[in-house]
Structure 1
Amino acid sequence: MDETIAEALRIAEESFIASSGPGGQNVNKVATAVQLRLNVFALRLSPPVFGRLKTLAGTRMTSKGEIVLTARNYRTQEANRDDARGRMIQLLEAAHKEPKLRKKSRVNRIGKEKRIKAKKNRGTIKAGRGKVDW
């Protein structure tokens, strides 16, 4: 997994674009936002990992198989670059984690009887809340 993440950061393409957000006039003069593009097919992920990554990426994945992350929260290119790379790493790590399989639970006979008894008891309490005749 660590090799995959290192490979991903190596082949990811960065481009700097004009940003909105904090920075005042600096925003108009300097391209501080970072757009990080990663071709997922170049990573050669296993089908289950690729499926999870596709689900996690959502609309950030293009039809050509590229994940596009844009970071524009900070005033400097370096901070935005670190933010974009960190988010890409989190995305890849989450895709590599296998979800735990849910095991069906089953209530035994005593548990069922106990539940029905509690429901009957609650029903009698509610039935006693009717209008009072004086």
Structure 2
Amino acid sequence: MLEISNTVRLPDDEVELSAIRAQGAGGQNVNKVSSAVHLRFDIHASSLPAFYKERLLALHDRRISGEGVAVIKAQQYRTQEQNRADALERLAELIRSVAKVEKARRPTQPTYGSKQRRLEGKSKRGAVKAGRGRVEY
């Protein structure tokens, strides 16, 4: 059971884990042992609340395919158990990231003082540049 929040939990049978051989350097260990983990999670068929599903499917993330399947490949560690735990934690983090609702920004106008300071700085800079011109006698 993967715990997302206090109220949301994901049953183990909704997450498909398979062991594969890792890529990259590592010599005989990488070539012989299937220590990397390939995680597949079907968002449509999951028991997640509708809010989570909508936000996950709307997310523009390369880990989520067009069919609504999240695919995570974990091969950072040497053992399959560590890679399995890493993949599950990354899935939980992906789901948690869509749960945060950003506060809407209310646009504001610059204050009178900030406008005056900006214009004063511009005129000082202009005077410095004007002073660099050709000197006439």
Distance apart, 1:38 and its partner CA: 0.7
Question: Which residue, 57, 69, 88 being the options, matches 1:66?
Answer: 69
Other-structure match for 1:115: 118
Cα displacement (A) at 1:80: 0.6
Give the match's secondary structure for 1:67.
strand
RMSD: 2.3
- Report the counterpart of residue 46 of structure 1 in structure 2: 50
Q: 1:128 to 1:55 in 2, by over 3 A?
A: farther
* Structure 1: runs of 5 or more not aligned: none
Q: Deviations over 1:16-37 (max 9, x none)?
A: 1111235421222221110111
1:30 equivalenced with 2:36 (yes/no): no
**TM-score, L = length of structure 2:** 0.80
Q: How does 1:1-134 map to 2 (within 5 A)?
A: 2=5, 3-4=7-8, 6-7=9-10, 9-41=12-44, 42-47=46-51, 49-50=52-53, 52-54=55-57, 56=59, 58-133=61-136
Task: Quote how far apart the aligned CAs of 1:133 are.
Answer: 4.5
Question: What SS is found at the alignment partner of 1:60?
Answer: coil
Q: Which segments of structure 1 move beyond 3 Å, counting only runs of 4 or more? A: 43-47, 49-52, 54-57
Normalised by the length of structure 1, the TM-score is: 0.82
Give the structure with the higher percent helix: 1
2:91 counterpart letter in structure 1: M
Could you tell me how far 1:57 is from its partner in structure 2?
A: 5.9
